[in-house]
Amino acid sequence: MRIAVGGFQHETNTFAPTKADYSAFEQADSWPALQRGAGLLSAFGGMNVPVAGFIDAASVGNTLLPLVWCSATPSAHVTEDAFERIMAMMIEELRSAGSVDAVYLDLHGAMVTEHFDDGEGEILRRVRAVIGRDVPLVASLDLHANVTAQMVAEADALIGYRTYPHVDMAETGARAAEHLFKLLKSGHRQAKAMRRLDYLIPLTAQCTLIEPAAALYALVAETEGKLLGNGRVTSVSFTTGFPPVDIPECGPVVVAYGETEAAAEAAAQRIDDAARAAEPDFSEKLWSAHDAVAHAIRHSAPGKGPVVLADTQDNPGAGGNGDTVGILSELLAQDAQNACLAVLFDPESAARAAQAGEGAVVTLSLGAKTGGAPGERPIEAEFEVMRITNGEFLATGPFYGGSRMSLGTTVRLRHRGVQVVVASRKGQCADKEMIRHTGLDPRNLAILAVKSSVHFRADFGPMASEVLVVESPGPNIADLAKLPFRRLRNGLRVTPMGTAFVS
């Protein structure tokens, strides 16, 4: 078979301070830089990304035709210029490929652009316009996708992740390949069913390592392949949604496919019923920075593993810039010992520290440069430069594992008992190597603050003595009731069991 392969990934927080322009997709960060043409097929070997799993599963016996693949760190809207330039490349490559038997796209599902609420719906529409209705079009989606009616209509199948932390991204790409081969073998379309829930789920409560998400995703896996009604269920996905997105189709969705309409409808309804029953359980305690640090100081002890503080509201994986200093300020004010914060985004401070050299003491205005927490000021202090690196290393944890990370000039600084890993590029702290490559083993810390919401749990969770989710100022608002929504659909509950949105 001749199968076209591409991808265009962005998770949009419409309340975030910084948009994703074309350069954001050009540069390598946690994932490879923009790939176009033949290099796409060799750029992802061994990585935990959907396109890698698809290529591994589909390459034997088939001809893969590379289009374009790119991603950018989550942020506010994708600029119109970036979207149009990247889509022009993708469509040009697709037309140049000639006749194709199928198309696979590695998408996120929560992209909002300056000119389209539904970025992925528009991507799928344009690809469909080229290949026609007879060629199968399958896409993999992030668990946090805000699936739209247009996405379901344009694609023959949408295959979502089932873990958060997303340790199954490559596996999802392989599942997408398996589903695509079944479509090609059968020669006919499958029935679709879609259910949309009427409440938003806070990001930190979506973690599949805890309830109720753990049980819901077990039910999703169990339902796939079942005989329901008068046919077999061929695929089920439950996307919990990316909540800080002010569009009408924001929120959790169930999408099911089956040999018959009755099978697809029964599968979708089964997951929908379970998700509605689970609504009261989707909650998690949020700590203030002051209380979290005080608790961590009281409860840390040698040999127990660090108390991990999740700086969720400044998570670069959800639209934060990674440079707010609320938790860092508390660590310093409360004289925390053997503590570290990672990874703080501050290219200016990283450059000054690198210029000063290892062992130097340098006065810095650290963090709070991008306005992620209005009114917050940089930390003015003297820092000892403990280590300088180029920010290039191989990630080894379950989430980023296999990725060659590129954080730019990176330094580890120390002020009294608190250390800070400072990088020149944004990156969600979800892999121990982000700290360990600077010469510090995070397992030996008493307190570790990470710029992340949930993905850190995959690598840091097993070594943590305790995990606290902290509501320190930042653009990725954890309490959804505090977001100034204007465009949600009427009747949607902004928080589980909360009041309904009314425009």
Instruction: Tell me the per-residue pLDDT of 34-53, one tens digit each, with 9 for 90 and over.
Output: 999 999 999 999 999 999 99
- Residue 371: how many other CB atoms lie within 10 Å: 14
Rounded to whole angstroms, the Cα distance separating 433 from 13 reads: 27
Structural tokens at position 34: 């923009």
Rounded to whole angstroms, the Cα distance separating 27 from 205 reads: 31
Domain 1-187: CATH class, spelled out: alpha beta
Rounded to whole angstroms, the Cα distance separating 140 from 406 reads: 25
pLDDT at 388: 98
Rounded to whole angstroms, the Cα distance separating 463 from 445 reads: 10
Of 148, 152, 237, 228, residue with least CA distance to 189: 152
Say if residue 402's pLDDT is above 90. no
pLDDT at 444: 97
Question: Omega of the bond prior to 252 within 30 degrees of 0, cis?
Answer: no
Q: Indicate the pLDDT class of residue 188, thresholds 50, 70 and 90.
A: confident
Looking at every residue in the chain, the average pLDDT score rounds to 96
Structural contact between residues 314 and 321, judged by C-beta atoms closer than 8 angstroms: yes
Label residue 29 exposed, middle or buried (CB < 10 Å: 0-12, 13-18, 19+): buried
**CA atoms in the 13 A half-sphere facing the CB of 448:** 33
pLDDT at 218: 98
pLDDT at 361: 98
Rounded to whole angstroms, the Cα distance separating 16 from 370 reads: 11
> For the chain, give me the number of helices (H) and strands (E)?
13, 20
For 121-150, the pLDDT digits (tens) are: 999 999 999 999 999 999 999 999 999 999
Q: Indicate the pLDDT class of residue 401, thresholds 50, 70 and 90.
A: confident
Rounded to whole angstroms, the Cα distance separating 421 from 306 reads: 16
- Residue 254: how many other CB atoms lie within 10 Å: 27
pLDDT at 404: 92
Q: Indicate the pLDDT class of residue 395, thresholds 50, 70 and 90.
A: very high
Of 370, 293, 264, residue with least CA distance to 324: 370
pLDDT at 453: 96
Tell me the β-bridge partners of 406: 392
pLDDT at 284: 82
How do the residues of the chain divide into helix, strand and coil, expressed in percent and rounded to 5? Answer: 30, 25, 45
Structural tokens at position 228: 């329901």
- Residue 463: how many other CB atoms lie within 10 Å: 17
pLDDT at 177: 98
Label residue 209 exposed, middle or buried (CB < 10 Å: 0-12, 13-18, 19+): middle
For 446-474, the pLDDT digits (tens) are: 999 999 999 999 999 999 999 999 999 99
Residue spans per domain, the chain: 1-187, 190-284, 289-478
Residues 85-95 have a mean pLDDT of 98
Say if residue 28's pLDDT is above 90. no
**What 8-state DSSP symbol labels residue 11?**
B
Structural tokens at position 19: 């948009």
Phi-psi region of 241 (alpha: psi -120 to 50; beta: other; left: phi over 0): left
pLDDT at 17: 87
Structural contact between residues 496 and 479, judged by C-beta atoms closer than 8 angstroms: no
Say if residue 57's pLDDT is above 90. yes
For 471-499, the pLDDT digits (tens) are: 999 999 999 999 999 999 999 999 999 99
Structural tokens at position 385: 């430069």
Structural contact between residues 377 and 473, judged by C-beta atoms closer than 8 angstroms: no
Would the CATH topology of 1-187 be identical to that of 190-284?
no
Label residue 229 exposed, middle or buried (CB < 10 Å: 0-12, 13-18, 19+): middle
Query: Which residue stretches of 187-253 are H helix?
Result: 213-223
pLDDT at 176: 98
Rounded to whole angstroms, the Cα distance separating 210 from 282 reads: 10
Say if residue 29's pLDDT is above 80. no
Of 288, 305, 298, 318, residue with least CA distance to 468: 288
Q: Which residues contact 291 (CB under 8 A, 6 or more apart)?
A: none
For 230-273, the pLDDT digits (tens) are: 999 999 999 999 999 999 999 999 999 999 999 999 999 999 99
pLDDT at 277: 98
pLDDT at 162: 98
Rounded to whole angstroms, the Cα distance separating 144 from 239 reads: 6
Of 133, 139, 166, residue with least CA distance to 6: 139
Q: Indicate the pLDDT class of residue 283, thresholds 50, 70 and 90.
A: confident
For 113-128, the pLDDT digits (tens) are: 999 999 999 999 999 9
Q: How far is CA 219 from each of CA 137, 216, 238, 275, 401, rounded to the nearest angstrom?
A: 26, 5, 10, 10, 27
Instruction: Give the domain 190-284 fold.
Output: TATA-Binding Protein (3.30.310)
pLDDT at 30: 78
Sign of torsion, CA 219 220 223 225?
Answer: negative
pLDDT at 187: 87
pTM, full prediction: 0.92
Three-state secondary-structure class, residue 168: coil
Rounded to whole angstroms, the Cα distance separating 204 from 221 reads: 22
